[in-house]
Structure 1
Amino acid sequence: MTDLYAVFGNPINHSKSPSIHRQFAEQTGQDMHYTKQLVNEGEFEKAAQEFFEQGGKGLNITVPFKLNAYAFAQQRTARAERAGAVNTLARLSNGTILGDNTDGIGMVHDMHNLGWELEGKRILILGAGGAVRGVLQPLLEENPAQVVIANRTFAKAEELAKNFLDLGDVQAKTFEQLVGETFDIVINGTSASMQGELPPLPDNLLAENACCYDMMYGAEPTIFLRWAKDFGAAHVADGLGMLIGQAAEAFYLWRQIRPEVVPVITAMRRQIAEKNKQ
């Protein structure tokens, strides 16, 4: 019996999840079928209920339904509770629907694959939205020296920092307060880079050998990664590895098998480059 999985979102056409999970299944010899489903706003619960009632084993959840998925889950992992959002649902053997958030661990694993050291480092995160909230716990579990959250709306960054203070040294700052500070790792967690916008960052922000990571990805380097290169970053990476890393973590939750992510990242990079040429 082929096990059924899907990704729910709106819009959904652009989703790379079916391709990623197909590659994982082939690589690990799993009998599973994975589709993408457009869900209308306000109909998430009904669609998810139907999916699981018809024998579905697991769902990936993308924009704008991560909060709906959080509410839908009957049980949640500690990291999903912390993130306040769910991007993966799994039907357990007893029928319970478990909610998890694999975004943060996907990003951390990608950084490990890139050979980036997180322990003892000063990390700056730009933005204070859901994407940032989702990665804070896994980041802090790597024991950085400090995590600073910078956001246009200081109150939002401050609230986020307070929520995670029990896990490590987390501070909120305005962009103006970053002047004179240096960081080993800078992570862009805003979607502004996709619109070609950059937060007002001071010039001397990057420490020696600094690494810069954009959670967004595209065929061309984002404006943030171009900024990073211009200001002397030793290493830069976009969020494609995070996307594939969070999918691998979801796959592990569903199948108890860890797929190899590097060959899939390589294949997807090639696809994106070819599509860009057309």
Structure 2
Amino acid sequence: MTAPDNYAVFGHPISHSKSPRIHRLFAEQTAQNLSYVAEDVPADKFKASAEHFFQNGGKGLNCTVPLKELAWQYADCLTERARLGKAVNTLAKQSDGLILGDNTDGIGLVNDLTVNHHIELHASRILILGAGGATRGILAPILEHRPSQITIANRTLDKAETIVHEFADLGTLSSSDYPSLGHQLFDLIINATSASLSGQLPPLPPGLLAPNGCCYDLAYGNQPTAFVHWGIAQQARKSLDGLGMLVEQAAEAFYLWRGVRPETQEVIALLNEERGSPTPA
């Protein structure tokens, strides 16, 4: 039998990662002969580890916290969405030996929102919490759907203003600190901060969610995050975490590597079942 092609996810920490399971499920589903493992790689070891991986036959890497900006610097060439996001979560060795950097987070989020949960982005009012790399990674694919407005809120206003300036050519964007959000209403509120990982919330004023509005946390866990609970308390039509985004961005990386697009909904359903949470309608 032919030896499998080698793929991996690098991160620090990484033991919690569901990516090996997801890609093995994709490989079984699509009859692809590949190996996918998780490796704990701190930031100061990333470049040497990536070079070793690709020099020893590795075909593709996923990169998660805290390596996405380093992967962006490491890549020989970038997709447009990776260039704009200044972060890379997927590296792929090309036939000419060059390493392509891509960011599949944004399209993964958009697919989960629009395809899996039927949440309309076009002409919607969107609030994104946080002005870090996660926000940069999702903005361009969201803006392709032409929302009426995106507001980026952050504790440090100038960081939000910087992102608004960099993405201004792609759509209508504004910046805000949290207290100044005031009495605005939003159809979709996306938490792109890391607050949920420590059970915290950004300091949000009440009354931001429009009737029939939805909430989405990029973070995920075996239990609902603090932001998911906040959305439920705000009577969101749907208050979701990022497990679906995780699977969808993995599917986009898999397609980049293998040229085959796996079905995602059965994988999302399985992972939700394993964590004791029903697949949201």
Task: Please give the TM-score of this superposition, normalised by the length of structure 1.
Answer: 0.96
Following superposition, the deviation at residue 122 of structure 1 comes to 0.3
Q: How many residues align?
A: 274
Residue 242 of structure 2 is aligned to residue 231 of structure 1 = no
Q: CA deviation at 1:69?
A: 0.9
Amino acid at match of 2:84: R
Q: 1:200 Cα shift?
A: 2.0
How many Å separate the matches in 1 of 2:66 and 2:185?
35
Counterparts of 1:120-159 in structure 2, within 5 Å, are 120-159=123-162
| Paired position in structure 1 for 2:166 | 163
SS of residue paired to 1:42: helix
SS at match of 1:254: helix
Q: CA deviation at 1:202?
A: 2.0
1:99 corresponds, among 98, 101, 111, to: 101
Match of 2:186 in 1: 183
Please provide the CA RMSD for this pair: 1.2
CA distance in 2: counterparts of 1:199 and 1:46, whole angstroms: 36
Distance across 1 between alignment mates of 2:210 and 2:68: 35
Residue 222 of structure 1 and its aligned partner are, at CA, apart by 1.4
Give per-residue Cα distances to partners, 1:117-173, cap 9 Å, x unaligned. Answer: 100000000111111111011111111000000111111111111111110001001
- Residue number in structure 2 paired with 1:262: 265
What does residue 9 of structure 1 align with?
A: 11
* CA distance in 2: counterparts of 1:42 and 1:199, whole angstroms: 30
CA deviation string 1:26-83 (max 9, x = no partner): 0111011111112243221111111111111100011111111111111100000001
Q: Distance in 2 between matches of 1:61 and 1:191?
A: 17
Find the counterpart in structure 2 of residue 81 from structure 1.
Answer: 83
Output the CA distance in 2 between the equivalents of 1:234 and 1:13. Answer: 33
Q: C-alpha distance in 1, partners of 2:98/2:150?
A: 35
**What one-letter code is carried by the residue in structure 1 that aligns with 2:58?**
G
CA-to-partner distance for each residue in 1:190-242, whole Å, 9 max, x for gaps?
A: 11122221122222111111011000111221121111111121111100011
**1:239-250 equivalence runs, <5 A:** 239-250=242-253
Query: 5+ residue gaps in structure 2?
Result: none
Q: Percent of pairs identical after alignment?
A: 54
Match of 2:220 among 217, 220, 236: 217
TM-score (norm 2): 0.95
User: What 5-or-longer segments of structure 1 have no aligned partner?
Assistant: none
Per-residue CA deviation, residues 228-277 of structure 1 (Å, 9 max, x unaligned), is 11112111110001111111110010011111111111111122239xxx
- The CA distance in 1 between the partners of 2:225 and 2:234, in whole Å, is 14
Provide the residue aligned with 1:30 in structure 2: 32
Cα contact 2:216–2:228 (8 A) shared by 1: yes
Give, as a single letter, the amino acid of the residue that structure 2 aligns with 1:141.
Answer: E
* CA distance in 2 between partners of 1:222 and 1:11 (Å): 19
State the one-letter code of the partner of 1:145.
S
Please list every run of at least 4 consecutive aligned residues from structure 1 whose deviation after the TM superposition is greater than 4 angstroms.
none
